[in-house]
Amino acid sequence: MHMCVTDLREIVFVIQSQSNSYHVRQAERRREDLLQQTQSLTQPPPLVLFLHSLTDNEGDWSILPLLPYFSLSFGKNSSWLVFLEEETKVKVTKLLQILRKFDRRKEWFLGKPLHDEESTIIHHYAFAENPSIFKYPDFSAAWALSFPLVDRFTCFCFNYLLQVALYIWENGQGPRLTGVPELCTESEASQAAQHCATTLSNLSPLCGDPVKKEEIFVAVKTCKKFHNERVPVVKKTWERDASLLEYYSDHADPTIPTIDLGVPNTERGHCGKTFAIMKRYVSEAVPKTSWLLVVDDDTLISLPRLQMLLSCYDPSEPVCLGERYGYGLGQGGYSYITGGGGMVFSRTAVMKLLASGCKCYSDDAPDDMVLGMCFNALGLPVTHSPLFHQARPEDYSREFLNHQVPISFHKHWNIDPIAVFNRWLKDGLTSEIPQKFMKSTKEEL
């Protein structure tokens, strides 16, 4: 007998929420939408959980350690765990139709498949000989696990899409990802979304008027050996969009100009320099602003898009925003914002950090990881945005970037950084940014 899901109560929805107030509101809207749809189905509503309420500020990265909890709490009466992001809109009836195609007694791992076109550093060069052979899920399209698969998990933790798929695959012992065409990342207003069970409600966040550029202080970390190589790229691309910007180096060069903070240059880490920047930011040496952006000299970034994104956040809250990574999560570790993609701090966050006395254990300690440890010790969450990128565009799946309006990329290695900026990040503050970007991306694909 073919056993398939027939009742909404057999589905546990998990919204991959975060504890920042903006993200909590987004998650609540998503839950309300799910429950409103179920009212017309004459069935009891499904269970809808917020991930951030189940974890210790670790958010998306803590999915796998929670699987034993899901198994013990819901395994007897449930058939499916369905994960979705805050911006993922679900058509409940279509999702039910999809799940009814699969025997709930078997192990299933469902999602929209992504693959790497070439081996990439962000996935530790996995499957280097043929990276396209292994598929992993696009979280934005939602993804699902059957409870027989959930039941055999042990507590473990990873922090990226491919690593989730690798763990489930278990060197061939577990199932590979089964692609479901109806799990989509199209805009909900798109004609192409008619067949989809999931869509995206917002490609480029905007919660009101964009933050004025005068409210963002930009700190660029550089050093003497890159004054002639990397700094000119910043000046030819995104510097013009900044109102308040300073370059910090180990050598004062009035032609740029750069500021020597008295911290020797280090080959890696730059923790001493970053903390010196923060102290200068809250001093009377620079204008008082609501936001601090710290970037590397090889970061490519769209400040107009950042202004749009920051309209969703309250600078009176301690906000630490960017592309979040995790270290030792589920084992007493912490989350941190990767420095290369750009680290955004509210003034409140910087003040709390400096007042705590938390500091670098050495000038060349990894600044982003030390900041993560400090915020973790203070009980302050770091907030993830997939629009920041620690690596180059070619290091990410094109399908993953296809539904984004990215804010940043990082590294000049083996690319023309000015061409990359013009292709991916150059535009103005208009409501047409997402449509224009999506059109050009799909033409390239």
Mean per-residue pLDDT pooled into runs of 10, the chain (445 residues): 68 93 96 91 88 67 72 85 94 93 92 82 60 82 92 53 67 82 90 91 83 98 95 98 97 96 81 96 97 98 97 97 85 88 98 96 91 94 94 92 94 96 80 42 36
CA-to-CA distance for 83 and 140, rounded, in angstroms? 9
DSSP 366: B
- φ, ψ of residue 125 to 5 degrees: the values are 55, 35
Q: State residue 1's pLDDT score.
A: 41
Q: State residue 50's pLDDT score.
A: 94
Tokens matching residue 349: 């966050």
Contact of 300 with 331, CB cutoff 8 Å: no
DSSP 9: G
- Residue linked to tokens 């030819």: 236
CA-to-CA distance for 390 and 342, rounded, in angstroms? 8
Both ends of the chain: CA-CA distance in Å?
43
Q: Of 368, 380, 332, 369, nearest to 157 (Cα)?
A: 332
Residues in the chain: 445
CA-to-CA distance for 362 and 7, rounded, in angstroms? 57
Q: State residue 356's pLDDT score.
A: 97
Using omega within 30 degrees of 0 as the cis cutoff, is the peptide bond preceding 434 cis? Answer: no
Q: Quote the crossing angle between the two packed helices 347-356 and 271-281, to the nearest 10°.
A: 120
Which whole-number Å values give the CA distances from 153 to 43, 58, 287, in the listed order? 30, 19, 52
Q: State residue 155's pLDDT score.
A: 42
Contact of 218 with 307, CB cutoff 8 Å: no
Q: State residue 167's pLDDT score.
A: 63
Angle among Cα 151, 156, 162 to the nearest 5 degrees reads 95
Contact of 109 with 175, CB cutoff 8 Å: yes
Q: State residue 121's pLDDT score.
A: 62
Q: State residue 35's pLDDT score.
A: 93
For 244-277, letters b (16+ CB in 10 Å) and e give bbbbbbbeebeebebbebebebbeebbbbbbbbb
320-322 and 143-146 strand pairing: unpaired
Angle among Cα 238, 242, 248 to the nearest 5 degrees reads 85
DSSP 314: -
Contact of 167 with 64, CB cutoff 8 Å: yes
Q: State residue 436's pLDDT score.
A: 42
The dihedral through the CA atoms of 165, 171, 174, 175 has a sign that is positive
334-337 and 198-200 strand pairing: unpaired
The dihedral through the CA atoms of 427, 430, 436, 438 has a sign that is positive
CA-to-CA distance for 56 and 71, rounded, in angstroms? 19
47-50 and 11-15 strand pairing: parallel
144 burial (CB, 10 Å; 0-12 / 13-18 / 19+) is: buried
